[in-house]
Structure 1
């Protein structure tokens, strides 16, 4: 089935001009076409339409995800919140105190990957050594890339420490490319950098809607 995802502004990525009232046509796990919504809607009248507010961009890349998922514990809400609090836990001494098993690390990683998807992330870099964590990341749909040079402290928000929002984009949106993109409830790239990835309203990977803000 073809799905036409449209937003107030389409930002295909570096080297491509923004498209006002733009859209991306997804067929299977690939982008079949992109351009002004009116033109694509006329060419593909039977495509299922999804209309989103704000800015549609390439999905985001998080570097150092092994630090975020193998050396940071995300308490289970609501079961552990009373005892541990809601904030992620890191630090060698704090983690040692928790006496975490591999199964608990895997469950924590699943919660962590949901936080990443909810921020428009489609790919991560890192060297995962805990089998349950790597399995959780793989099953989430996120692409795992080799470790890369890290700038600053790893963050759930790929825009943290960036000068331009485009520095966090993974790939570009073009016909034939994998259908992995995100939508943010902001008006332009400057607002996206200022307000951050928590403005994400939808994340698509492999043509599948893996996150939608409720």
Structure 2
């Protein structure tokens, strides 16, 4: 079934399966696809964010299970806190899945990584659908689930247009300047390969 995603700024994407079938003003897409399901979102529809700290967030941090919150808190554990944990493949894989879900909840559709060396992490990330892109060396800044809080220029994925992959995010802000100011916690929806993988409740 074809779905038309519409934002508050007059942008719309028609999604069929894992691909963008059409892009343009909502009135044009709705006229061209009269039987489509329509999802209307507050804020701006964007190509989604690139998180430059893929290795740091997925292989060098532990994302606690909500059931561990009383003991470990909810923020990613790194350094000595990570070193104090007993980590095996099962725990690394579960951490990576939670890490990816938290990245998706911040509108990230692509993570920049050097090669992922931890097989359990690599396999878990591959199954999530999060796109990976290469990088050389560490990007600087501070690793954060919110790319707007990393202390680096905010990077967006490639623009979404007809026949491109259906990967994008919607943020409840007026424009990109407000997004940079308020951060990616304003994400209301993230779509990966045509699937709604995050929706703010």
Query: Are 1:175 and 2:159 matched, yes or no?
Result: no
- Which runs of at least 4 in structure 1 moved beyond 6 Å after TM superposition? none
Contact 1:64 1:147 in 2 (8 A): no
Tell me how far 1:67 sits from its aligned partner.
0.9
In structure 2, what is the equivalent of residue 4 of structure 1?
Answer: 4
Q: For the Cα contact (< 8 Å) 1:63–1:148, is it kept in 2?
A: no
1:154 is displaced (CA, Å) by: 2.4
| TM-score between both structures, scaled by the size of structure 2 | 0.93
Secondary structure at 2:24's aligned position in 1? strand
Does the 8 Å contact 2:141/2:152 carry over to 1?
A: no
- Give the whole-Å Cα distance in 2 for the aligned partners of 1:40 and 1:60: 24
- Alignment correspondent of 1:139: 127
Unmatched runs of 5 consecutive residues or more in structure 1: 10-20
The separation in 2 between residues aligned to 1:151 and 1:170, in whole angstroms, is 19
RMSD across aligned C-alpha pairs, in angstroms? 1.4
Give the Cα–Cα distance (whole angstroms) in 1 for the partners of residues 140 and 86 of structure 2: 30
Number of equivalenced pairs: 198
> Are the counterparts in 2 of residues 157 and 197 from structure 1 also a CA contact under 8 Å?
yes
Contact in 2 for aligned 1:125/1:148 (Cα 8 Å): no
Which residue pairs with 2:35 in the alignment? 46
Alpha-carbon deviation of 1:89? 0.9
CA deviation map 1:16-71 (0-9, x unaligned): xxxxx221111221112111111211111111111111110001111121111111
Aligned to 1:68: 57
- Take 1:109 and 1:207, find their aligned partners in 2: how far apart are those partners? 22
Distance 1:84 1:25 in 2: 42
- How far did 1:97 drift? 1.4
**CA shift for structure 1 position 86:** 2.2
Alpha-carbon distance in structure 2 between the residues aligned to 1:6 and 1:206: 17
1:155 aligns with 2:144: yes
User: Is it true that 1:89 corresponds to 2:77 in the alignment?
Assistant: yes
Which runs of no fewer than 5 residues in structure 2 stay unpaired?
none
Q: Aligned partners of 1:202, 1:70: CA distance in 2, in Å?
A: 25
* 1:112, distance to aligned residue in structure 2 (A): 0.6
Question: What is aligned with 2:91?
Answer: 104
Give, in whole Å, the separation in 1 of the partners of 2:31 and 2:74.
48
Q: Secondary structure at the match of 2:170?
A: strand
